[in-house]
Amino acid sequence: MHQSSVPITPPRPLSSTARAARAASVGIAALVVGGSLGASPAAAQSAPAATAVTAAAPAAAAVHTVSAAAVSAAAATDVVAKRGSVGAVVAEIDRALRASEIRNFGRARSTGVLANTYGPLTTSRVRAFQARNGLRATGAVDERTYAMLRPTFKLKPGTQTVARSVRGRPITVRVVGDLGAKKRVIVVGCIHGNECAGLPILDAVARRGAPRGVAYVLVARPNPDGAAAGTRHNARKVDLNRNFVGWTPKGKPGYVYYPGRGALSEPESLALYDLVRSVKPTAYVTYHQALRCVDYAGAGAQVARTYARLSGLPVKVLPAYHGSNGTWLGTRHPDVKTLTVELSRPVPASMISRNVTALRHLATHH
Ligand SMILES: [Zn+2]
């Protein structure tokens, strides 16, 4: 599922206005949390897991707030993985380094370290790769180095498997329309496996087809193990929506917002990360339950207002959680119109149809 040519696309720079805009919205979010939502992180973390899961909702959502300064600091670096990183992203980097070394020297350097851990040897191999390719030899994998190491997905219309979950289930992507379209909208149905109300919305937009000039890239179940088990987490008890770039450590496996052992440590979040590199979306919509609101990141403010009006859900700026889809895209891809849509539980049919209308409108007019 990978193309053979290696794309060399420098990461998009983060404009200072976008950073300032995001910092401002984070400030508002922090104010809201400090005021009405209030649950202290310590209280939420010490609560029994069952309670926390049931509450996976307004009060509990107050955990993981990020200061504007912290978000700006995260935005200033574009490191994907570095010494100390673990998990799926390191495994993929190791695989790519081996391929590059075999191409160049006929054999790969043995890692001699624990699998999937970015240690001193990985650092020196990355440094050598960077030197061979005219990159700054830092030994840390920034976005440009990653783009040269890892090919993007070669997607075509229809359904394809792009990656596998921890348990080996396929992570499939459905492309509706032509990816050469100016407007490319990634829609994520169910990243939290117990919040799958968005799936009929994806089905409905796929059935009707893409409007002219639009391509949909639908990822119904990026967390197939969680969806099969009906759990928020993936099979390693990681909250994937805290596992993206901008990750910070918090709690232990099973904790409701457990972010994993490092950024992109999980194959499911790495698949979404690679999908964004591959598609270069102009808009990104991810469905959750059950906060009943439309949250936005990056350039999404205007489309969030329209989406809210058409769907009947209010705009609400949720806290900028470390390592969430929204925070990652808002800081690293501020020109993407990113929406987090929180549906209700249960979801009336009328809400589904209004969201289908809102999504089609967004796809056409963003
Ligand atoms: Zn959720």
Question: pTM for this structure?
Answer: 0.80
| pLDDT (tens digit per residue) in 4-28 | 333 333 334 333 334 334 433 333 3
In this prediction, residue 78 carries a pLDDT of 85
Q: Is the pLDDT of residue 278 over 70?
A: yes
pLDDT greater than 70 at residue 117: yes
**Quick count: other Cβ atoms within 10 Å of Cβ 307?**
25
Please tell me the predicted confidence (pLDDT) of residue 116.
Answer: 80
C-alpha distances (whole Å) from 192 to each of 189, 212, 241, 325 are: 9, 31, 8, 12
Q: What is the pLDDT of residues 287-339, one digit of tens each?
A: 999 999 999 999 999 999 999 999 999 999 999 999 999 999 999 999 999 99
Each residue's pLDDT tens digit, 34-66: 222 223 333 333 333 333 333 333 333 333 344
User: Which CATH architecture best describes the domain 80-149?
Assistant: Orthogonal Bundle (1.10)
Question: What is the average pLDDT across 209-236?
Answer: 98
Percent of the chain at pLDDT above 70?
A: 78
- Distance in Å, CA 153 to ligand 1 centroid: 26
Cα→Cα distances 186→101, 282, 359, Å = 34, 8, 11
Rounded to the nearest angstrom, the distance between the alpha carbon of 192 and the centre of ligand 1 is 5
244-263: pLDDT as tens digits? 999 999 999 989 999 999 99
**Nearest by Cα to 336 from 8, 18, 27, 16:** 18
- What DSSP designation does 172 have? E
Q: Residue 365 C-alpha to ligand 1 middle, in angstroms?
A: 26
| C-alpha 98 to ligand 1 mean position (Å) | 37
Q: For residue 211, how far is its CA from the centre of ligand 1 (angstroms)?
A: 28
Residue 290: per-residue pLDDT? 97
Residue that is written with structure tokens 């099973």 in the block: 254
Which residue, among 82, 119, 122, has the nearest Cα to 101 in the 3D structure? Answer: 122
For ligand 1, the distance from its centroid to the CA atom of residue 340, given in whole angstroms, is 9
| Homologous superfamily of 165-365 | Zn peptidases (3.40.630.10)
Give CA separation, 259 vs 123, 138, 256, 269, 366, in Å. 24, 26, 9, 11, 31
Nearest to 271 by CA among 227, 219, 317: 219
Which tops the pLDDT comparison, 154 or 14?
154
Name the residue ranges covered by the structural domains of the chain.
80-149, 165-365
